[in-house]
Amino acid sequence: MNELNVTPMLDLCFCLLIIFMIATPVLEQTTSVNLPKAEKGSGKSPDTKQQYRYVSIGRDGVFTIGNRTVTKPQLEAEFAQIAAMAERDQPVVRIRGDASLPYQKIIDVMSIAKAKGLTKVGLDTEIR
């Protein structure tokens, strides 16, 4: 028997694929935010082909984009960069505000996005 047995290697590849599929969504949510609750089925599932940019507002009012903490002027600059892209290439900005925050903080971020010309903005919630 001179053939190489590739079955264990394929098993390993499939295991790694499953691990990465499970771990990837966890990596996107680096900021601990207690999202408000919504009724089940209140939205459609995200499009896997679309890119997303997550803006989190923590309980203390600190802004983060992905895993970077930013100030309000830096957030405005980031939104301006996104708005400068062609509309079909622009990522969807997902705002993740802590449930204990005053609603005004979330509206402030949406207002900054609107002022910069962004049209693809959404709010994240948890399902009850």
pLDDT level of residue 41 (50, 70, 90 thresholds): low
Instruction: Please say if the pLDDT value at position 118 is more than 60.
Output: yes
pLDDT at 27 over 70: no
| Closest listed residue to residue 116, CA positions, set 77, 65, 71, 80 | 80
**SS3 letters across the chain:** CCCCCCHHHHHHHHHHHHHHHHHHHHHHCCCCCCCCEECCCCCCCCCCCCCEEEEEECCCCCEEECCEEECHHHHHHHHHHHHHCCHHHCCEEEEEECCCCCHHHHHHHHHHHHHCCCCCEEECCEEC
The mean of the pLDDT values for the chain is 82
**pLDDT interval class at 6 (50, 70, 90):** confident
Predicted pLDDT of residue 78: 92
User: What pLDDT is attached to residue 32?
Assistant: 66
> Does domain 37-127 sit in CATH 3.30.420.40?
no
pTM given for the model: 0.62
pLDDT in tens, 57-99: 988 888 999 888 999 999 999 999 999 988 888 888 999 888 8
d(CA 68, CA 64): 5
- Position 74 scores a pLDDT of 93
- Delimit the domains of the chain by residue range: 37-127
Nearest to residue 71, comparing CAs of 123, 109, 32, 111?
A: 109
